[in-house]
């Protein structure tokens, strides 16, 4: 059976694994302890935060069909959050509810999705791949991890990572190397705030105008979340671009007053507060790209950046990668 190494167990890599599992012998390589990549959850007991993608949409029938088993297994649910736009006029807060739109969330948290999809696959977790070498004589790939471990004899390598992390691994001789190198991703900071007392502001997700904070999510309002108030606030990607000199602690100091201005809580009520820098949060260009496959050297590259920088985009890129690969062996 064809042996495939998939580097990156986010939704794109996990989709490739699922679609090819009957045709190939697959091993997943993931640098983190958990699966799902940016479908992530941070625990700071008793507070829980889905601090990556807070929710997602499924607009294509293909993605909706893929999600059905997760819904049946109780890993995924639909949520109709109360969306609001928030503006400050002369420092006065104005909130406008903008209607209900159904989205998907993971149960009990977003990271359940990756955990569920990785079940049954051979996985090397806590394994950051730092180099891939092609053995042309044996027509196979060897992978080298940060700790020096070597994984040998793969017929194909699939790289399912953000663009900068992909080019760090790709040999420059690969034909599409330059296409990926100049496709940059943008960053954002996420503030996680646990409060021991908090009043319902009348919405679940707020989009903020003219603030360094772009979006706030009341994580504890999601269905089946039994926990004290756990607020997630994402900065705008434009704001972060102008703040590169700041440290992680600076981000928290600057962003906490901005979140307090939105909700007006008492600082004494803070039970937990932390920041997270997402170096590769989303895509700069919405331009779509076909997943990239070198049929001569047996290497394939894809990720959400091929299809709009969303969870559904990561799935569609993985699905298309798997379709193209399945005709190669």
Ligand X SMILES: Cc1cc2nc3c(=O)[nH]c(=O)nc-3n(C[C@H](O)[C@H](O)[C@H](O)COP(=O)(O)OP(=O)(O)OC[C@H]3O[C@@H](n4cnc5c(N)ncnc54)[C@H](O)[C@@H]3O)c2cc1C
Applying CB under 6 A, does 263 fall inside the site for ligand X? no
What is the rounded CA–CA span in Å between residue 276 and residue 317?
26
Contacting ligand X (CB under 6 A), which of 19, 221, 234, 298? 234
62-91: which residues touch ligand X (CB under 6 A)? none
201-220: which residues touch ligand X (CB under 6 A)? none
**Which of the ranges 2-10, 70-78, 85-93, 252-260 carries the binding residues for ligand X, by CB under 6 A?**
2-10
Applying CB under 6 A, does 304 fall inside the site for ligand X? yes
For residues 32 and 126, is the Cβ–Cβ distance under 8 A?
yes
Contacting ligand X (CB under 6 A), which of 50, 54, 140, 213? 54
Applying CB under 6 A, does 275 fall inside the site for ligand X? no
137 by Cβ neighbours in 10 Å (0-12 / 13-18 / 19+) ranks as exposed
Q: How many chain residues bind ligand X (CB under 6 A)? A: 39
**Which of the ranges 28-36, 71-79, 206-214, 219-227 carries the binding residues for ligand X, by CB under 6 A?**
28-36
Residue 78's DSSP bridge partners are 104
Strand order in the sheet with 129-135: 129-135, 140-145, 150-154
Applying CB under 6 A, does 7 fall inside the site for ligand X? yes
Q: CB under 8 Å to 22, separation ≥6 — which residues? A: none
Applying CB under 6 A, does 53 fall inside the site for ligand X? yes
Contacting ligand X (CB under 6 A), which of 188, 193, 213, 289? 188
- Write down the H helix ranges in the chain: 11-20, 61-72, 111-118, 163-169, 177-181, 237-241, 248-263, 311-326
Residue 10's DSSP bridge partners are 36
Q: How far is the CB of 55 from ligand X (least distance, A)?
A: 6
Q: How far is the CB of 202 from ligand X (least distance, A)?
A: 21
* Sign of the Cα pseudo-torsion (60, 184, 281, 132, in order): positive
What is the rounded CA–CA span in Å between residue 322 and residue 12?
10
Over the Cα atoms of the chain, what is R_g?
Answer: 21
Site string for ligand X, 118-137 (x = CB under 6 A): ----------xx--------
Applying CB under 6 A, does 143 fall inside the site for ligand X? no
Query: Angle of helix 11-20 relative to helix 311-326, nearest 10 degrees?
Result: 30
Applying CB under 6 A, does 162 fall inside the site for ligand X? yes
Contacting ligand X (CB under 6 A), which of 4, 6, 9, 174? 9
In the complex, the residues that contact ligand X under the rule CB under 6 A are 7-13, 29-32, 37-39, 52-56, 128-129, 160-162, 165, 188, 190, 234, 278, 281-282, 303-304, 309-314
């Amino acid at each position: 059976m064809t042996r495939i190494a998939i580097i990156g167990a986010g939704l794109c890599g996990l989709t490739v694994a699922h679609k090819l599992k009957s045709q190939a012998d697959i091993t997943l390589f993931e640098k983190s302890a958990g699966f799902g990549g940016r479908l992530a959850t941070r625990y700071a007991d008793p507070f829980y935060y889905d601090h990556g993608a807070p929710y997602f949409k499924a607009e294509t029938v293909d993605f909706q069909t893929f999600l059905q088993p997760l819904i049946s297994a109780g890993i995924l649910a639909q949520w109709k959050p109360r969306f609001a736009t928030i503006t400050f006029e002369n420092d006065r807060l104005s909130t406008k509810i903008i209607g209900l739109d159904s989205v998907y969330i993971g149960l009990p948290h977003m990271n359940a999705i990756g955990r569920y999809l990785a079940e049954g696959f051979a996985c090397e977790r806590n394994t950051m791949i730092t180099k891939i070498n092609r053995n042309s004589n044996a027509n196979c790939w060897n992978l080298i991890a940060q700790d020096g471990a070597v994984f040998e004899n793969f017929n194909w390598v699939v790289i399912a990572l953000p663009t900068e992390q992909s080019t760090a691994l790709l040999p420059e001789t690969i034909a599409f190397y330059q296409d990926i190198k100049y496709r940059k991703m943008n960053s954002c900071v996420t503030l996680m705030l646990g409060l021991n007392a908090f009043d319902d502001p009348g919405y679940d997700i707020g989009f903020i105008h003219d603030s360094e904070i772009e979006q706030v999510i009341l994580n504890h309002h999601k269905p089946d979340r039994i926990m004290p108030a756990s607020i997630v606030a994402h900065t705008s990607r434009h704001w972060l671009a102008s703040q590169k000199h700041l440290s992680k602690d600076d981000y928290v100091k600057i962003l906490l007053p901005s979140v307090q201005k939105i909700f007006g809580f008492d600082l004494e009520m803070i039970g937990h507060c932390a920041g997270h820098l997402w170096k590769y949060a989303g895509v700069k260009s919405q331009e779509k790209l076909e997943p990239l496959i070198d049929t001569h050297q047996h290497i394939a590259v894809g990720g959400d950046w091929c299809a709009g920088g969303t969870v559904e985009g990561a799935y569609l890129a993985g699905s298309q990668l798997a379709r193209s690969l399945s005709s190669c062996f």
